[in-house]
Amino acid sequence: MFRSNSNSFWYLRGAMKQTKYISVILPLKLEWEPCYSVPEEILKEGIKTGDRVRVPFSGKEYIGVVSSADVAAETDPRKIKDIFSVERDMERVLPQEIELWRKVAEYYLCTVGEVSKAAYPTGKLNLEEARANAISKVRLRKEKLAESIRTKIERLEARLARKKEAAEKARKESTRMSYLEETRALEDEISMARAALEAVNREPHADLDGPKHQEWTGITLTEAQKKAFGQIKCGFASDKPVLLDGVTGSGKTEIYMMLAHEVLSEGRNVLYLVPEIALSRQLEDRLHAYFGERLITFHSGESASSRRNAAEQIRRMAGGKDNYIVLGTRSSIFLPHHDLGLIIVDEEHDNSYKQDSPAPRYNGRDTALMMHQIHGCKILLGSATPSLEELYNCSAGKHVLVTLSEKYHGSEDADIEIIDTKAERRKNGMTGNFSRRLIEHINRTLESGEQVIILRSRRSWAPVMQCETCGEIVRCPHCNVSLCLHKHAAGGRMTCHYCGFSSSFTGRCGKCGGNLNSLGAGTQKIEEEAAKLFPHASIARLDGDTAQNKSYETRTIKDFAEGKTDILIGTQIVTKGFDFKGLNLVAVIAADALLGMQDFRADEKALQTLEQFRGRCGRRGSKGMFVIQTSQPEHPVYRRLMEKDGSGNSRELMLERKDFNFPPFSRIIEITVKDRFEDRADRMSARLAADLRALLEPSGCPVLQSMVTGPYAPVVDKVADMHIRSIRLSLKKDRNLASSKSAIMAAVHKFEKSQKYDGHITINVDPS
């Protein structure tokens, strides 16, 4: 009696006061969007979907995003909490952004909150700070520009003075026509520069690069490029994504810029995705020359405040007359894009588009395809070594394939020489890690004033250290891997590349006190050896260690581009996208490290890396040289590399994938269990695998080719004191895929709850 009374009272109260309820996305791993009520004084000022609100949640305060500004109270309204405030100085999240979060969460089996957190990494957006930063950036650029104009004026004035002085000396000169013309031209130029300087100083937000569309100097495409350009536009007309399969050096970038220019002139915006920061640095200059202030660069590694700056710039352009082109790595997908006309995904095959941790474990390329649907914009994927996934999409008619097989400078592919290091060692042909042949090639290249890049895929001085007395290998106390030796000015440190543990290097075995010897060499040691072998060459290194220092990285790339460095040594980072005109020899040392990974993608990846690396050299007409040092010269990857016919290779790889039912013929989901206790990791992963088998293989045999493998211990089965077990699900790609996926997610969540095992399990869709 009492209950029903009070019940009607709620509704009465609700009806009288018309309480408004909203649902909110919180930046947490939450499977639901909690409901809040809006106090009257806030309601008066209005509240909308996308607003950022400060709310209480399990004893803490969060800033969330209103996902619906009008919902029905789903529980006892007395239990529903009020929001604290609407953060009016934070920009509203756009509906397309929330739609993208939902799609990403659904596809990658994570929560919308986790995606929102990736999109808005910090709680509070300090708009004042963002504005201040943007303004100071403009001011800085303005000062630079004014400075350069001043120098120009000085130079012109000096020239004019010299001319006049010379004319004074030879009196008759001063009446000559050419002299008059020249001085007049100089004077005109000076007064124009003065006017420009004044304009810069007068207008605080003047468009510093002059009138926008005038700076577009235009690109003249070659016949082959024109043809591809036309085919791309035909593809766009069909509303399908287009894949540009263009050999290295074919001028894909030129085509991208042309397309971007067109879209910008139509008044729409462009998102230009690149896989890696290092790569985008060189591209940034190229694009800036064309697009000036319309170019916004955004890297994943950048701080929350630069993210805010980029977002602020993009928002400022909304509704205005300005258009933007964002050049960025995968996370720039989550900027507040509006009026998108085109997305370019450069080097679409690249693995660094995939985020492995934390959730959302998304792939930038595939998420860009989701954006194409949401924004209804064009999308162009480009690569010299397209992923099998993309080629499959093209052959299935879902995407349009455009090929460009002519290099711009007309140079042929670099010649390949494979050197068998085992055989060389037997013949005493190796000096450290350099074979006789490679040394010859390097010397010859240096003598002709050209440059060399050497790839060694492991950073450090030595990746493994072993005791010469007891054979013990120095291991990380927290991970199941060996420690790598890094040499520094102050000595050396043994470092774990997985958990970051490090200890100072004593040179002695911790077990028996014997001497430690290095097994193998990392980039640091290769650099040391190269310095001895080529004492007159200037040498630089680029790898994960040097990348910590961004200005060093930028300078190193710039120096190499300008020919100030002769030899560049690095990890995979040096194989990608760069355009160095003086580079004529590329070499891989210990190429074996690229092969033989326990992964169905291993060969495809190795082939892509080698092909990309080969494409870095001989880009200016001369034929380059590609030297590969390996102890497995008979590996099929090399045969495939030597074969001219790239599409034949893809066909072969595709058949293998089909035979084994690997992607793109199936979808793989990797479920990882991590636990401090090894026995519990075993027990829990076995139980979870049994649950998943019951779900996907109810009759004991795979239903519709869905398969559960594992649990098994991965190659590195302990990291940071956590034992790791994996379960691999292979799902058939059919109409049931989406529902199977959500059933899997539900099963995992149920398992977490029933076993009280929260925080130990991660789900990775399409692992790289």
- In the complex, least distance from residue 494 CB atom to Zn ion, rounded to whole angstroms: 10
Q: For residues 688 and 725, what is the distance between their CA atoms, to the nearest angstrom?
A: 11
Q: Which positions lie near Zn ion, rule CB under 5 A? A: 476, 478-479, 496, 498-499, 501
From the list ligand ADP, Zn ion, none, pick the one residue 254 interacts with, judged by a Cβ distance below 5 to 8 Å according to partner type: ligand ADP
- In the complex, least distance from residue 475 CB atom to Zn ion, rounded to whole angstroms: 9
- The partner residues of 585 in beta bridges, in order of sequence, read 452, 625
- In the complex, least distance from residue 595 CB atom to Zn ion, rounded to whole angstroms: 25
CB atoms within 10 A of CB 744: 22
From the list Zn ion, ligand ADP, none, pick the one residue 249 interacts with, judged by a Cβ distance below 5 to 8 Å according to partner type: ligand ADP
Sign of torsion, CA 479 485 487 490? positive
- According to DSSP H, which parts of 363-512 are helical? 364-375, 388-395, 421-426, 436-447
Q: What tokens does 438 get? A: 């490679």
Q: Which is nearer to ligand ADP, 220 or 551 (CB)?
A: 220
From the list Zn ion, ligand ADP, none, pick the one residue 718 interacts with, judged by a Cβ distance below 5 to 8 Å according to partner type: none
Q: What tokens does 645 get? A: 């016919």
* DSSP structure class, residue 45: H
From the list Zn ion, ligand ADP, none, pick the one residue 222 interacts with, judged by a Cβ distance below 5 to 8 Å according to partner type: ligand ADP
Q: For residues 64 and 90, what is the distance between their CA atoms, to the nearest angstrom?
A: 11
Phi then psi dihedrals of residue 258, to 5 deg: -60, -50
Q: Which is nearer to ligand ADP, 381 or 474 (CB)?
A: 381
Nearest to 382 by CA among 270, 252, 231, 575: 252
If you count them, how many residues does the chain have?
A: 768
Q: Which is nearer to Zn ion, 499 or 533 (CB)?
A: 499
Q: Which is nearer to Zn ion, 8 or 504 (CB)?
A: 504
Q: Can you say how many angstroms the Cα of residue 287 is from the centroid of all Cα atoms in its chain?
A: 17
From the list ligand ADP, Zn ion, none, pick the one residue 498 interacts with, judged by a Cβ distance below 5 to 8 Å according to partner type: Zn ion
- In the complex, least distance from residue 284 CB atom to ligand ADP, rounded to whole angstroms: 14
From the list ligand ADP, Zn ion, none, pick the one residue 476 interacts with, judged by a Cβ distance below 5 to 8 Å according to partner type: Zn ion
From the list ligand ADP, Zn ion, none, pick the one residue 479 interacts with, judged by a Cβ distance below 5 to 8 Å according to partner type: Zn ion
* DSSP structure class, residue 358: S
Please say whether the beta carbons of 162 and 337 come within 8 A.
Answer: no
* DSSP structure class, residue 571: S
Q: Which is nearer to ligand ADP, 196 or 219 (CB)?
A: 219
Q: What tokens does 628 get? A: 């590969």
- In the complex, least distance from residue 153 CB atom to Zn ion, rounded to whole angstroms: 59
Nearest to 261 by CA among 239, 306, 229: 229
CB nearest ligand ADP: which residue? 251
From the list ligand ADP, Zn ion, none, pick the one residue 246 interacts with, judged by a Cβ distance below 5 to 8 Å according to partner type: ligand ADP
Q: Which is nearer to ligand ADP, 218 or 698 (CB)?
A: 218
- In the complex, least distance from residue 582 CB atom to ligand ADP, rounded to whole angstroms: 12
Q: Which is nearer to Zn ion, 498 or 662 (CB)?
A: 498
- Helix (H) or strand (E) segment spanning residue 551: helix 550-561
Q: Which is nearer to ligand ADP, 157 or 406 (CB)?
A: 406
- In the complex, least distance from residue 233 CB atom to ligand ADP, rounded to whole angstroms: 16
Q: Which positions lie near ligand ADP, rule CB under 6 A? A: 219-222, 225, 246, 248-254, 408-409, 579, 619
Helix (H, G, I), strand (E, B) or coil at 470: coil
Q: Who contacts 525 (Cβ-Cβ below 8 Å, separation ≥6)?
A: 432, 433, 461, 462, 518
From the list Zn ion, ligand ADP, none, pick the one residue 741 interacts with, judged by a Cβ distance below 5 to 8 Å according to partner type: none
- According to DSSP H, which parts of 387-522 are helical? 388-395, 421-426, 436-447
Q: Which is nearer to ligand ADP, 290 or 534 (CB)?
A: 290
- In the complex, least distance from residue 720 CB atom to Zn ion, rounded to whole angstroms: 6
Q: What tokens does 323 get? A: 């258009």
Q: Which is nearer to Zn ion, 462 or 574 (CB)?
A: 462
- In the complex, least distance from residue 716 CB atom to Zn ion, rounded to whole angstroms: 9
- According to DSSP H, which parts of 238-333 are helical? 252-265, 277-291, 304-317
- In the complex, least distance from residue 749 CB atom to Zn ion, rounded to whole angstroms: 30
From the list ligand ADP, Zn ion, none, pick the one residue 744 interacts with, judged by a Cβ distance below 5 to 8 Å according to partner type: none
